[in-house]
Chains A and B, each alone.
Chain A
């Protein structure tokens, strides 16, 4: 069974500081990996995704993530955090192949990391 672990429940950083949010996954085959962000009262917005190819992926809002197969990790980074980045961040993993043609992709989410940004 696939699983996602986000070991940090809450992270606080100062505005302008760098950020790294950790994500570890467990999956028996090649995973598809995602980072979503959720602002208060809002749904989830996709930040970036990894399917294959370059292990360093760029996303929206200046975020990037690096896939490290040997460590089963997909950590999210940003060089300089802005106050508007305060939100909850979710890592998710999905299957790399469909069971049968036309199967819906299902995601397993981590429990989230709440980011607080200090002025």
Chain B
């Protein structure tokens, strides 16, 4: 248990559906991240939030829409996804300041787009 909780653990959705992934951390961290993990590919950083402000958007398609209402919660809203978006979506958090920091990961949401 890393202190980062993601729900749901598994999600199957059609291409016309709208769904949301949720991430929650109570570690007191001020930075939160969304990563995409596809088979045979390195983890891809999607979004970064620091103190609730989005500081990074790595050319992610607009069908992925992040939301960070506070430093403890991060959402990823999904709509009109494509089958190639099927992947494991990992949330992480870290303490943005200080030298000895590390990212703590949730267990991920396994997303299947049909």
Contacts and interface: CB of A to CB of B under 8 A. Distances in A.
Interface residues of B, number: 33
Nearest to B55: A104
A103 B96 contact: yes
Interface in B1-33: 2, 4, 6, 30-31, 33
Contacts, number: 70
Interface in A36-59: 36, 41-46, 49, 51
Contact of B101 (A42, A45, A101, A105): A105
Given A42-B107, A43-B107, A112-B42, A103 B94 contact: no
A95 B107 CA distance: 24
Contact of B97 (A44, A51, A101, A108): A101
A109 B96 contact: no
Interface in A87-113: 90, 98, 101-112
Interface residues of A, number: 25
Interface in B81-114: 90, 92, 94, 96-97, 99-108, 110
B43 interface: yes
Contacts of A103: 50, 55, 96
Given A42-B107, A42-B108, A49-B102, A105 B40 contact: no
B74 interface: no
Given A36-B105, A41-B110, A112-B42, A105 B94 contact: yes
B100 A44 contact: no
Interface of B: 2, 4, 6, 30-31, 33, 40-43, 45, 48-51, 55-56, 90, 92, 94, 96-97, 99-108, 110
